[in-house]
Amino acid sequence: MCGYAAPKIDKIRIGFIGLGNRGSEAVPRIIHIDGVEVRGLCDIKADLVQKAKNELAGTSHDPALYSGNEDIWRKLCEREDIDVIYIATPWAWHTTMAVYAMEHGKHVALEVPAAKTLEECWALVDTSEKTKKHCIFLENECYDFFELLTLNMARQGFFGEIIHGEGAYIHSIGESLFDPVQRPGLWRLEENSHRNGNLYPTHGLGPVCVIMNINRGDKMEYLTSMSSNDFTLHPYALQLAAKDAAYAKYTDKHFRGNMNTTTIRTRLGRTIMLQHDTSSPRVKSSRYLISGTKATAQCDAEAPRIATSHTGWVSPEEFSRLEKQYTPAIVQKMGEMARVVGGHGGMDFLTDWRWIDCVRNGLPIDHDVYDAALWSCMAPLSEWSVANRSSPIDVPDFTRGAWERNAPVSLSIDHQNLTTAK
């Protein structure tokens, strides 16, 4: 499926499953893009479905509504007048829904992570290959402006040979895990209360893999992972349980460690460091770093920076010049609109615009089922390594050897029927 161009679809009919935090933002965002029609809205909660429909008031979109039980989403997938199922549910549902949708003739746009187990990763790969339906991985960090800038710089040789990359999801959301309003059913707390590793790897990993051409000229060989103890989640569970008996069941849980650090080595000898910490009082950071033989780029909690020698970062004036020289066509064309529509500063809009433009024009998508499986499998592999004293573990090759001939992701938008925005 890497490089696969499905038949073009002039108007993409979309059905949404999951209208909580992510899905509710996607519906009003996606209608700014031409060539889409929202045909269905689905969530177990009827009020969320109605709220999403209200966002479409005054537009030409008149979706059917689905709610009320945990299996109602199947009805949406079974409709013959839908081309793409957009999945933004809790993690445990991602693979089940994606596989069912592809088996029923739908492309899938899938939120992160795509899967929780290696078996689920392979199920996504096998189903996408069998049905010839795209599993579009919605990794928005790949479309952040600095990540796109540095990808274009790398494609033009600015960094030389890429040696090392770093990425992270450092985001202090620990107390929100215990909030039943923000996290219905406390589903994300459940994930954190019995799994210990990097549970949310794709934001930090995706942009590094694209620059390194992982799955497209290089592959991951093995990883090793280590977690600290948990110093905050269990004490907070005890604190809440003293006031509310509903939290008592969490007082004997073994929460994941605050900080997980995973290191990866590739076939070509590159290295990647990946970190995860959502329960320490840390400043939010993606810890994005690309190190090459000629230059380095970094963006953490501070402004993005570039260095071409060991003597220090380039001046603001030089950075501005490089930015003008290397800003890719997708940002030149859609960047201003993305900043207006928003979604994490615009990268959510660029994510959706890009895959819609590719599907409408019958072009290969940027981040396919092999990326979805590989980037997501870091979670179960890191869990195994942590549980086995940081022992190394081999990383599966979901491309089954095709990584040696797959073409790298291209930033080109050089085609006639370029999708516009409203």
pLDDT (average), residues 266-283: 97
* pLDDT for 239 beyond 90: yes
pLDDT at 301 over 90: no
Q: Are residues 156 and 120 in the same domain?
A: no
* Termini Cα distance of the chain: 31
* In a domain? residue 365: no
Which pair of tokens denotes residue 340? 């207006």
422 pLDDT band, cuts 50/70/90, is confident
Q: What percent of the chain has pLDDT over 70?
A: 100
- pLDDT tops 90 at residue 54: yes
CATH number at 70 reads: 3.40.50.720
**How far is 321 from 246, CA to CA, in rounded Å?**
57
Predicted pLDDT of residue 23: 97
pLDDT tens for 60-118 read 999 999 999 999 999 999 999 999 999 999 999 999 999 999 999 999 999 999 999 99
What mean pLDDT comes out for the span 155-176?
A: 97
What does the pLDDT average to over 241-269? 96
Q: Distance between CA atoms of 295 and 149, rounded to whole angstroms?
A: 14
Q: Provide mean pLDDT across the span 143-172.
A: 98
CA atoms of 99 and 124, how far apart (whole Å):
6
- Per the domain annotation, does 74 fall within a domain? yes
Mark which of 85, 114, 140 sits at the end of a domain. 140
Looking at 140, 159, 174, the residue that finishes a domain is 140
Q: Where residue 207 sits, what CATH number does that domain have? A: 3.30.360.10
Q: Are 128 and 369 in contact (CB under 8 A)?
A: yes
What was the pLDDT predicted at 387?
98
Q: Mark whether 109 and 191 lie in a shared domain.
A: no
Q: What is the pLDDT of residue 361?
A: 97
Tell me what pLDDT residue 352 has.
98
| Statement to judge: residues 318 and 203 lie in one domain | yes
Residue 324 has pLDDT above 80, yes or no: yes
Same domain, 53 and 135: yes
The answer to whether 82 touches 112, Cβ cutoff 8 Å, is no
- pLDDT at residue number 182: 87
In the prediction, which pLDDT does 134 show? 98
Please check whether residues 20 and 151 belong to one and the same domain: no
pLDDT at res. 302: 79
- What's the whole-number mean pLDDT along residues 301-310? 92
419 and 360 Cβ atoms separated by less than 8 Å: yes
Indicate if the pLDDT at residue 135 is higher than 80. Answer: yes
Question: Quick one: DSSP state of residue 249?
Answer: G
- Both 25 and 155 in a single domain? no
Task: Over range 376-399, report the average pLDDT.
Answer: 98
* 183 SS3 class: coil
261/122 same-domain check: no
Domain end call among 114, 140, 166: 140
Tell me, yes or no, whether 343 lies in a domain.
Answer: no
Q: What percentage of the chain reaches a pLDDT higher than 90? A: 96
Q: Across all residues in the chain, what is the average pLDDT?
A: 97
| Number of structural domains in the chain | 2
pLDDT of residue 201: 98
Question: Domain range for residue 19?
Answer: 12-140
pTM of the model: 0.97
Cα–Cα distance, 340 to 273 (Å, whole number)? 33
